[in-house]
Amino acid sequence: MSDYYSILGVSKDASEGDIKKKYRQLARENHPDKGGDKEKFQKIQEAYETLSDSQKKKAYDSGGSQPQVHINGGFPFEFNFNSFFHPQAKPQQRVQKKNDHIYTCKITLKDVYFGIVKKIKVQRNRVCAICKSNCSQCNGMGQITQHMQMGPFTQIINQTCQNCSGSGIVHKSNCNECNSKGSIPEEQIFEVTIERGVDTGKQYKFEGWGEQAIKEKEVSGNLLVNIVVEEDVHFKRQGLNLLYKTNIDLRDCIIGKMITIPHFDGPLTITTKGFGIINPNKEYILFDRGLVDHKDKRGNLHIIFTINYPENIQFSDSDIQLLTDTFNKVKL
């Protein structure tokens, strides 16, 4: 009985992964098509088929009979050595999705407040359906599979179809629909209904309006509309809340002032008297005056005041006394 562990160069307690790794190395080095010894390669194959199977390995370790491996001049199956020795390579997908077309749609903060319908013009080349037909050489696959016998092995080779140049389709040479170009320029206007309260990163998808599928096993890509909300000159957005900054004189922050805010619903006039003496480190809130989302959830309007302090002001003794009396009266 052959010593399979010595043939593969592994110990009896080697893991399944170590056995497989060592086998791939030896098979690559001793493959007959690469100048290796055929009998040695067969022994390596026999050793691996035994030690990689838990039941066969158990019987072998217990001193049972050597399992019969029927090579008969080749493997009992066909395989591609390139994919076998490179296990990290992913198998080909049966259905391939074509590229998406991505469109960036810029909107204003006012558009976010009210919602808006944007019209987007999309252009692409549509495959001419009048003269299109699947390539008879590759059955619309774009590739031709060839099986080449290499000694005891069969090598599978995928080659680009020369008849259709890999496209999978052929066109008539006298088509009046596309002037024998194979495709027709196509334009479509899409209406994108942008709901209230959207933010940058929102995406709308129109299926099938990306790169068009050509081959049999392809699926057309999609049109993806990405929303970008531009910065507003008056307001800063904080979720559904709006932040508004304005200046106020020192006297007005004490006695109050009427201010007008350029709100999206129209000018919003308020008095600061209701806020008391203005604190520049505080945010003053007008409830339900922020943005509104598609579920009618409302944010608030936050106001921050910057106080304009007078420079080089001089007070007389009588002015100071008057101010002191006034502050004492209002308990300031």
Instruction: Set out the domains of the chain in order of their start, with CATH numbers.
Output: 4-71 (1.10.287.110), 101-229 (2.60.260.20), 235-329 (2.60.260.20)
Which is more confidently placed, 203 or 175?
A: 203
Residue 232 binned pLDDT confidence (cut-offs 50, 70, 90):
very high
- Answer yes or no: pTM beyond 0.75: no
Provide the 10 A C-beta neighbour count for residue 190: 15
> What pLDDT is attached to residue 50?
82
Take residue 262 and report the two structure tokens written for it.
Answer: 């350029």
The mean pLDDT value for 85-93 works out to 47
| Tokens describing residue 275 | 């806020």
Question: Do 48 and 77 touch, CB atoms closer than 8 A?
Answer: no
More confident residue, 231 or 76: 231
Q: Write the pLDDT tens digit of every residue in 257-312.
A: 999 999 999 999 999 999 999 999 899 999 999 999 999 999 999 999 999 998 88
Indicate the length of the chain as a whole number.
332
Model confidence over 130-172: pLDDT tens digits? 666 677 778 777 788 877 766 566 677 788 887 777 777 776 6
DSSP states along 16-66: HHHHHHHHHHHHHHH-GGGT--HHHHHHHHHHHHHHTSHHHHHHHHTT-PP
SS3 content of the chain, % helix, strand, coil (to 5): 25, 30, 45
Q: What is the pLDDT of residues 237-247, one digit of tens each?
A: 999 999 999 99
